[in-house]
Structure 1
């Protein structure tokens, strides 16, 4: 059953909006348009895989390589010939000089072009005159040569006293010409047939020397670079970035101070070193593409950043080759499990392949990225996770005609799609109601005499305090609207600031990240900022925060259509970092969304009992360590590792001392030795847990 919104709102025609009462028998609207695009993407992916497999064939690479040598050599020789016979080279150099603003060089090349044209004209006139004089010159030469032969013959006849010797020189010349013609007749035909092969060999040689074949088709040659980014490899890579101050420091004998030597970290390598004077981390980050090439990695696999508490230190993390292009594992809640809005949902993996929890309570999201970068993958993972908590209400406004949310319609409270004025008015009505709702919930919390925030017990007891998630997709259409844009920005900022304690979560999603389409206050206020592929560093900093690009936290190197679902994010941990969203598919032949929605609807309406699987809860490493310690004030690290593996072999079975040390360092535990052996202190773990809980309570800013 549905309730229909009135046909007119504030004097405007309202769109068709339905408040769904989530009848369990209501089928999911899959639609034709929702399956057409994934089907086309599957076909494209299949063709791409076939093409990649074909490129790996040695025969195919051999054919392409040598064919490219011939084509490239022909092109190079043609260009050289053309430039040698024309002023094309002069014109190109003049364009370069003009583009750089060097007028003196433009004048020099103009003079050289004029001198070249004058000399060429003189040569052509000389050739023309020679052609006119050629018949007379040939006749004169023939008469003179014939007279010379006759004189020689006369001299020979007088000497031999034989008149027949007068023509002997002429006969000798004629016989010589005959022999030359005979030899030429033998050699000419093979030479004529071999000429194309000689030309082909020539252009092939030129193309090979110029390496005109595609990179993937070139033969694999030896390389001094190592795939393992140890200290030597890192220093070699830094020394070949073309950074003048760094090169000068190296020439002067600068030796780096390694804050942390290159060590294994997750599915990559991590190192920290102090940079020399005059070389900020920004210079290294700007050369990220070259640095990745020098380390035999793709740009997405290399992240040079500056730690917040260590100025002048390069924090370099290098992934294993190809690990970030492999498919993300299936979403943990795909077939079973429930969630708790107040504890968060699994949303992504970080660069080290560790699970990232998307917090919902006391959190708001700003998600941006150009089309095709995979924004919807993160949003869908968050919404599907939230649906598996029966208390959560979800409203979605898509200010475009987008079918991404259609499969979730049975579990949504409302879904509005479209970019007409009526759809903008509907979004404005939701914003106004949210502003009132935030105030009402705040007053209710004050009446209850609590200065904390909405809890699960409170939401279960009072339906009016249940968690709400409101999505505004393509929100730039709302903020740039001529009539409602200004009010929308004010309301959005007000609601985002005050919704933190009231169990209302907002998701602002846009492909545009400029000042006109995105209020600056939104990016400052939200707790979670996610930048998928962004075109420029201004847009990157508008999403992630001022100075993020300079410090190396940049999404400008991500490529839409290739790094789909990969983003630079802030708010998921202590420092920004790379995340890879889970991908719950809804495409031709594969529908992973609908079964999750059906489970959520069944849990909500009580049609079927909740799954027997335990409710999903993120792994709390500190709590697990505290449980292993029990009442022991301290414990050897190897004993802690053994206890963790015994309690949770799935999570801790592969842990090493480095994994435990990383968690302890992040918690501020520090080194703790007794008798020369490393221990874990219970008091320090408990202090870290208490400090973390205080940070969660304070995160998100004040309500003012």
Structure 2
């Protein structure tokens, strides 16, 4: 048919059912009317392949419309399909070019020592003289090794030639021997072996000659394939050449973090090795498919080579954004025992903003200092306990962020153990601890100088008491205190000291240095003795929370904080860069509760994690304290216990335990406890308290020499004699 001849009708038959040699029948698809000029027939339908046949007579018209067709077995491709083909061709061409480029770079590096040159430039840029010297030496050694290898090449060639000549000579000798054996045994002629070897060589040379031409034809394709593989390994295809991989890379984002949503989020983290893995067709193995876990979703998947989990952790903010979450609602980690596996937990939107459940010990139960007490829940709403024995605490955060809440929870839990004695010093006018006063050994609040002095004196007494506790451990033959021994020996009863607003102590003009020295020495030595110290401040810094103290503090909690420096002052240097940060948390304001009660904790769980503290109001704390008093009295340590069934006189007891020589006042309470182990006032008596009692109630003079309090036995006996004389 000529190009000018008009095609009036097309009979369309799907290729799979095409029967061009048969006449039209009722079972075949109906004919269509000719397409009018300007119509876009089937532009919104899926492409299908049809066979067409030109017919001379027009059949009856039909109203049925069909998509793009194949006329005379020629496929009509849509524009988007042509673009797809062009994109695939361009992408693979770029990959091949990148492979060649990689080979050239590697060859140039091998010839010029490029690896060493780059390291030398990096060391120069960083100003690292040690690294610079190291790489300069390595470069000289590499050049010397290459020179030696080049010098050895002629020798190597000569050795190869000698080996080849020797091999040929040995082969000839072997053939002669075999031929002689063939002739002697009558198996054949002497030349038969040479003929057979010649036939083998002729066949080999013929095969090589036959395969040489195909090899030369295939060689360029092999080189292209090798370059393509190298490009896939080392190159990165431009984004505009990447065809759709079946995952949505734009548009709406799923609220439920299923496997598809997680892969989409990972694809858009802008991590180059991960992008290359996706483009190479990587699909992860889900160790744990997405499942419901608490108030969120939990998934575990293996990461590709060259993409450690830490790379994803560093992109936590972007990952959370891609999953339509806040950063505190997404927690990527690498589980213990599963290296290379991304453990991802994603909370429901807003799940971490509501109130937490009631404190488990709010309405019933006792506690054990030597175990732990519930203090918070993790982001999966699982209970998290806070250790008391062998633990110390540093707590910081803006005002209104929830510091006191955590301290109160810890302290209430500790007071539910009848063995525990607690001293609280708050160097600010604060009523947070008033409900606990009936159960506390000491409660001092306010900004006056005597609060800081009393706090330091108590810490000094605790430090001096450690030697007594150490001797008690030796007597019992144990390395650390435990509940069984503490119940028997008052010298090993647990002690807790709370220093709230500790910046007023450590930054004190006259007491600060001694307070720091005492705190550091006490924390270093008190771990096994049942002494716990809790520090809290709203302004963490190297002055308010000295680094020497933070470095040996086991448990640290950072609530809403203002900047990176303050964050690292609590959680440790480099914490912010490692993603261990509370900078994004917001304190309570008049308009919003913010993230009050939420803190970044270190030491509470195996890895630093975001926690939400339990909240116990002052009205709720009152019945808890009453229960603590009842538990203590029932155990025999309260006002109704057996310890109050006797009466003792302090001056008489001092006369009995003292010798003739002056003694440090801090050592006297230990002697009194040994004299009367069940007398309650002696169980927690300190040197400072003993001084106050002696000077105010009995008029005994307590000299101070070099900031050390002493007690003179003659002075005690003088007062005792005056009292007996009735003066």
Quick check: 2:545–2:570 contact (8 Å CA) kept in 1?
no
Q: Secondary structure at the match of 2:360?
A: coil
Which of 390, 398, 412 is 1:362 aligned to?
390
The corresponding residue for 2:531 is 504
Partner of 1:602: 630
1:436 maps to 2:468? no
1:412-438 CA-partner distances (Å, limit 9, x unpaired)? 111111233332222211221111112
2:520 aligned with 1:520: no
Distance in 2, matches of 1:378 and 1:552, equals: 23
Alignment of 1:521-670 (within 5 A): 521-561=548-588, 562-586=594-618, 591-606=619-634
- Measured against aligned partners, the alpha-carbon deviations of 1:553-608 in whole angstroms (never above 9, x if no partner) come to 3222222221111112122232222221111112xxxx111111122223334599
What is the alpha-carbon distance in structure 2 between the residues aligned to residue 270 and residue 540 of structure 1?
Answer: 28
Q: Which residue of 2 aligns with 1:331?
A: 359
For 1:568 and 1:258, how far apart are their aligned partners in 2? 29
Q: TM-score, normalised by structure 2?
A: 0.49
Contact 2:460 2:518 in 1 (8 A): yes
**1:278, CA displacement in angstroms?**
7.4
1:535 offset after TM fit, Å?
2.7
Choose 252-261 or 344-353, whichever is displaced more. 252-261
1:285 to partner: Cα distance: 4.3
Instruction: Determine helix, strand or coil for the equivalent of 1:569.
Output: strand
Counterpart CA distance in 1 for 2:569 and 2:305 is 29
Contact kept in structure 2, 1:356 and 1:572, CA below 8 Å: yes
Secondary structure of 1:323's counterpart equals coil
Q: 1:265 to 1:290 in 2, by over 3 A?
A: same
**Larger helix proportion of the pair:** 1
TM-score by length of 1: 0.50
C-alpha distance in 1, partners of 2:531/2:276? 55
Q: Deviations over 1:243-283 (max 9, x none)?
A: 56655654565544655543433332233445567766566
Question: What's the CA shift string for 1:654-686, capped at 9, x where partnerless?
Answer: xxxxxxxxxxxxxxxxxxxxxxxxxxxxxxxxx
Question: Is 1:491 matched up with 2:518?
Answer: yes
TM superposition shift of 1:516: 2.3
- 2-structure distance, mates of 1:446, 1:499: 15
Give runs of aligned pairs for residues 318-397 of structure 1, distance below 5 A. Answer: 318-397=346-425
RMSD between aligned residues: 2.9
8 A contact 1:602–1:608 mirrored in 2: no
Answer yes or no: is 1:474 the counterpart of 2:506: no
1:105 corresponds to which residue? none
**Retained in 1: the 8 A contact 2:392–2:533?**
yes
Q: Which runs of 5+ in 1 are unaligned?
A: 1-221, 611-704
- Larger RCO, structures 1/2 (Cα 8 Å, 6+ apart): 1
Task: Report Cα offsets for 1:217-252 as digits up to 9, x if no partner.
Answer: xxxxx9732222122212222333455665565456
Task: Check 1:281–1:511 CA distance in 2 against 1; reply closer, same or farther (3 A cut).
Answer: farther
2:455 to 427, 446, 453: 427
Residue in structure 2 matched with residue 465 of structure 1 by the alignment: 492
Q: Distance in 2 between matches of 1:407 and 1:533?
A: 26
Structure 2: stretches of 5+ with no match in the other structure: 1-249, 589-593, 639-727
Q: Is the 8 A contact 2:560 2:582 kept in 1?
A: yes
Q: CA deviation at 1:380?
A: 1.0
Q: State whether residues 476 and 518 of structure 1, in contact with CA within 8 Å, keep that contact through their aligned partners in structure 2.
A: yes
- Listed one character per residue, the Cα deviations across residues 115-156 of structure 1 (whole Å, up to 9, x for unaligned) are xxxxxxxxxxxxxxxxxxxxxxxxxxxxxxxxxxxxxxxxxx
Q: Take 2:587 and 2:451, find their aligned partners in 1: how far apart are those partners?
A: 28
CA contact (8 A) 1:285 1:550 kept: no
On the 8 A contact 1:306/1:552 being kept in 2, the answer is no
Describe how 1:104-503 pairs up with structure 2 within 5 A.
Answer: 224-242=252-270, 246-247=274-275, 250-251=278-279, 253=281, 255-256=283-284, 258=286, 260-273=288-301, 284-285=312-313, 287-307=315-335, 314-451=342-479, 453-503=480-530
Larger Rg: 2
SS of the equivalent of 1:501 reads coil
Q: Deviations over 1:10-47 (max 9, x none)?
A: xxxxxxxxxxxxxxxxxxxxxxxxxxxxxxxxxxxxxx
Aligned residues: 384
Change (3 A) 1:471 1:235: same
User: In structure 1, what is the Cα distance between the partners aligned to 2:523 and 2:255?
Assistant: 46
Q: 1:313 deviation in Å?
A: 5.3
